[in-house]
């Protein structure tokens, strides 16, 4: 069981049948044995083929009914496969992007938590300790974010699985780190260091207002496939960066020391171990005002 808050301060406890199943799989020795083949890239690839096939479209209606999803914000299809539905686009205007230059926006729908990176680039998610060096497999790059913030945007299956650029800027070549496909549900993070074991991909975004932001997409259990568009090195705020195929997934952002400050509610809830539900394009932080006005 874990807690999620909205931006109005309402907190709800999450304990679905799926959560209870994952808790058993990750928390019980028999469950972990059954889990081992499920997290392999081969099973993920096979699942992707199945869910991209035409017969998989029959799964759409039962899934929508079981999850109680509101589809009024989305294109209505028809969809050729379950993955086609999973990657459905929002209707124009359904995900407005805050265009105030100093406002740091969420790249996606999801549940966000924020962690401070200490001077050795160490941080903690729930009860699990991480280092940026192990996450990135790059000591020099990890040092560049010491003293900054790590933003974890966790997407579950009912979320919108397309994501955007958070500002105007220039993007580096992406780096892919192969791995397995654990679920990103919080119950898994208490047992395995999922963010440094899962398949992931990152690039550096040299932004106009927030310094160099590192964005990492993390795949997850059963086809958390990362599909970055790579439409060119120059990008603009609100432009679509990519999408995930079926599976819960996560986007991590790293911001440099003194460049961006998270909104106070995010800091307070994160300190209490509570995720905050946000939508793509909404403000979740602010640029350092001194640096912002000096460079603008």
Residue 80 lies in a domain: yes
Whether 69 and 135 map to the same domain: the answer is no
pLDDT band of residue 128 (cuts 50, 70, 90) is low
Q: Tell me what the mean pLDDT of segment 12-25 comes to.
A: 56
Residue 220 is part of which domain span? Answer: 103-295
Q: Tell me what the mean pLDDT of segment 182-206 comes to.
A: 62
pLDDT band of residue 293 (cuts 50, 70, 90) is low
Comparison of pLDDT for 150 and 200, the residue scoring more:
150
Residue 41 lies in a domain: yes
The H-assigned helical ranges of 177-251 are 186-189, 194-197
Q: Tell me what the mean pLDDT of segment 116-141 comes to.
A: 78
Whether 291 and 196 map to the same domain: the answer is yes
Whether 204 and 262 map to the same domain: the answer is yes
Sequence-separated (6 or more) residues with CB below 8 Å from residue 216: 135, 136, 200, 201, 202, 251, 252, 253, 254
* Chosen domain end from 56, 86, 116: 86
Three-class secondary structure of residue 130 per DSSP: strand
- Side-chain half-sphere exposure of 185, counting CA atoms within 13 A: 23
* pLDDT score for 289: 77
The C-alpha atoms of residue 22 and residue 31 are separated, in whole angstroms, by: 9
Residue 95 lies in a domain: no
Whether 127 and 273 map to the same domain: the answer is yes
Task: Find how far residue 96's CA is from the centre of its chain.
Answer: 19
* pLDDT score for 69: 83
* pLDDT score for 86: 85
Residue 2 lies in a domain: no
Using a cut of 0.85, tell me whether the model's pTM lies above it: no
Opening angle at CA 222, ends 221 and 226, nearest 5: 85
Q: Is 73 among the catalytic positions?
A: no
Is the pLDDT at 214 greater than 90, yes or no?
yes
Q: Is 44 among the catalytic positions?
A: no
Q: Which residue has the tokens 């899934």?
A: 63
Q: What pLDDT, in 10s, does the model give residues 155-186?
A: 887 889 999 999 999 999 999 887 654 444 45
Is the pLDDT at 39 greater than 60, yes or no?
no
* pLDDT score for 294: 66
Residue 162 lies in a domain: yes
**What does the block give as tokens for 235?**
């990008």
Residue 122 lies in a domain: yes
The H-assigned helical ranges of the chain are 17-27, 29-38, 41-51, 60-67, 82-86, 132-136, 139-143, 186-189, 194-197, 264-271, 289-295
Contact 235, 168 (CB under 8 A): yes
Of all residues in the chain, the percent with pLDDT exceeding 70 is: 74
Number of domains composing the chain: 2
Whether 48 and 180 map to the same domain: the answer is no
> Looking at 109, 159, 167, 263, which residue is catalytic?
109
* pLDDT score for 90: 94
* Chosen domain end from 36, 56, 86: 86
Of all residues in the chain, the percent with pLDDT exceeding 90 is: 46
The residue ranges of DSSP E strands in 208-257, in sequence order, are: 212-218, 226-228, 234-235, 240-244, 249-255
Opening angle at CA 283, ends 278 and 284, nearest 5: 65
Q: Tell me what the mean pLDDT of segment 122-149 comes to.
A: 81
Whether 40 and 115 map to the same domain: the answer is no
Whether 74 and 217 map to the same domain: the answer is no
Is the pLDDT at 44 greater than 80, yes or no?
no
Residue 92 lies in a domain: no
Residue 57 sits at φ, ψ, to 5 deg, of: -65, -20
Whether 46 and 188 map to the same domain: the answer is no
- The overall average pLDDT reported for the chain is 81
Cis ω on the peptide bond leading into residue 53 (within 30° of 0)?
A: no
Residue 217 lies in a domain: yes
Whether 190 and 287 map to the same domain: the answer is yes
- Residue 242 pairs with which residues in a beta bridge? 163, 228
Whether 178 and 75 map to the same domain: the answer is no
Is the pLDDT at 187 greater than 50, yes or no?
no
> Looking at 44, 113, 249, 270, which residue is catalytic?
249
* Chosen domain end from 23, 53, 86: 86
Whether 247 and 159 map to the same domain: the answer is yes
pLDDT band of residue 22 (cuts 50, 70, 90) is very low
């Amino acid at each position: 069981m874990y807690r999620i808050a909205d931006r109005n301060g309402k907190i709800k406890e999450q304990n679905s049948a799926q959560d209870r199943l994952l808790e058993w799989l990750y928390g019980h020795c028999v469950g972990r044995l059954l889990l081992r083949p499920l997290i392999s890239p081969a099973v993920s690839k096979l699942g992707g083929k199945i869910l991209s096939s035409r017969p998989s479209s029959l799964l759409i209606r039962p899934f929508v009914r079981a999850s109680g999803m509101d589809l009024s914000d989305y294109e209505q299809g028809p969809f050729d496969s379950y993955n086609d539905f999973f990657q459905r686009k929002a209707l124009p205007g359904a995900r407005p992007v805050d265009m105030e230059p100093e406002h740091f926006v969420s790249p996606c729908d999801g549940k966000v938590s924020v962690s401070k990176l200490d001077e050795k680039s160490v941080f903690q998610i729930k009860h699990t300790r991480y280092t940026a060096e192990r996450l990135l497999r790059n000591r020099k790059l990890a040092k560049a974010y010491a003293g900054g913030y790590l933003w974890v945007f966790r997407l579950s299956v009912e979320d919108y699985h397309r994501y955007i650029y958070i500002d105007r800027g220039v993007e580096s070549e992406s780096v892919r780190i192969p791995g397995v496909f654990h679920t990103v549900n919080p119950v898994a993070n208490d047992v395995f260091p999922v963010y440094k074991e899962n398949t992931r991909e990152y690039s550096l975004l040299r932004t106009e207002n927030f310094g160099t932001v590192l964005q990492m997409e993390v795949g997850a259990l059963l086809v958390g496939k990362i599909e970055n568009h790579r439409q060119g090195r120059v990008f603009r705020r609100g432009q679509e960066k990519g999408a995930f195929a079926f599976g819960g997934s996560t986007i991590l952002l790293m911001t440099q020391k003194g460049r961006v400050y998270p909104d106070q509610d995010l800091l307070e809830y994160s300190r209490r171990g509570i995720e905050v539900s946000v939508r793509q394009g909404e403000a979740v932080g602010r640029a350092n005002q001194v640096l912002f006005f000096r460079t603008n």
